[in-house]
A and B are shown apart, each in its own frame.
Chain A
Amino acid sequence: MPIDILYFAWVREAIGQGSERVDPPADVTTVAALIDWLAVRGGGYATAFENRDRLRTAVDQVFVPLDTGLVGAREVAIFPPVTGG
C-alpha cells in the first residue's frame, strides 16, 4: 500500500522536500522499519535519520512511538521534537 510521508523542520530541509509518496516492501511493518528503509537511500535521508533519538513521528496525524505498526497507515509524518508556544 502506498504511504504519504511528510517531513517537517530540519528533517524536511535535510531531505529536500516536504512530502512524498512511497510504496515500501511488505517487510516494512513499523515506523522504525520505514525510517530504516528510507535511510538506506543515503544523502539527506541518512543525515536526517542519523540519530533516532531526535526523531518524533505521527501516523495518520496522531503522535506515536517509532515502534508503532504501519497496518492501514495512509500518512506518516517524521519530524524533530516540537517547539511551539
Chain B
Amino acid sequence: MIRVVVQEAPIDLAAEFAGAEADDAGAVATFTGLVRGDDGVTELALEHYPGATERALEVLCDEAVARWTLAKAVIVHRVGPMVPGDRVVFVATTARHRAAALEACAFLIDRLKTGAPFWKRERRGSEARWVEARESDDAAAARWG
C-alpha cells in the first residue's frame, strides 16, 4: 500500500506514525525533515507542480515497495509557507524486518530530493531567494542506482 500526500496543512506526526503500522510487519522506519533556521532564515516557502509531484512520489513509492517488499510506503510533503521548526516532509516505510524498512526509507528521502518537482524559497527578513540544488543531493540519489 502506498500513501502520497502533498498538503499545505501541518503534518500530523501521531496520525502518520500510527497509519504506517501494518499487520504482519515487524518494522516501521521513518524520516521527518524540518525547516532549519540557518543563517537567519525566517520563512521557507515550497512551490510544486501539482499532479506531476504526486505522480513522481507515487513512482518512487512503487519502486521502493517492489525493491524492498514493503507492506507500506508513505510520503507526506508539505507545500506553501513554513517557519523554522515546521515539518516539511515525512517518510515512512513498513516491512517485515528492519533492514528493508531502513534502507527503503533512506532511498525514498534521497530520491525525493532530486526526483520530485518541489522548489524551496528562503526568506530572511525582507530578502527572499530560491534555494540552489546541491551536488551532494545528486550524489545521494545516485547511490541507489
A binds B: yes
Q: Which of A6, A62, A84 has the most CB of B within 10 A?
A: A84
Complex CA gap A84/B113 in Å reads 5
Complex CA gap A63/B111 in Å reads 14
B117 adjacent to A79 (CB under 8 Å) = yes
Q: Which residues of the partner chain B approach A37 to less than 8 Å between Cβ atoms?
A: none
Complex CA gap A79/B48 in Å reads 10
Contact of A9 among B77, B89, B113, B130 (CB under 8 A): B130
B123 within 8 A of A: no
A84 adjacent to B89 (CB under 8 Å) = yes
Interface footprint category on A? 10 to 19
Closest to A13 in B: B130
Complex CA gap A58/B132 in Å reads 19
By the criterion of a CB under 8 Å from any partner CB, how many residues of chain B are at the interface?
Answer: 28
Task: Given the known inter-chain contacts A8-B117, A9-B119, please indicate yes or no for A83 contacting B52, CB distance below 8 A.
Answer: no
Closest to A77 in B: B49
Residues of B within 8 A of A (CB): 33, 46-49, 51-52, 55-56, 77, 88-89, 109, 112-121, 130-133, 137
Q: What are 14 A-B residue pairs whose CB atoms fall within 8 Å in the complex?
A: A8-B117, A9-B130, A62-B52, A63-B117, A82-B115, A82-B133, A83-B120, A83-B130, A84-B46, A84-B113, A84-B116, A84-B119, A85-B88, A85-B112
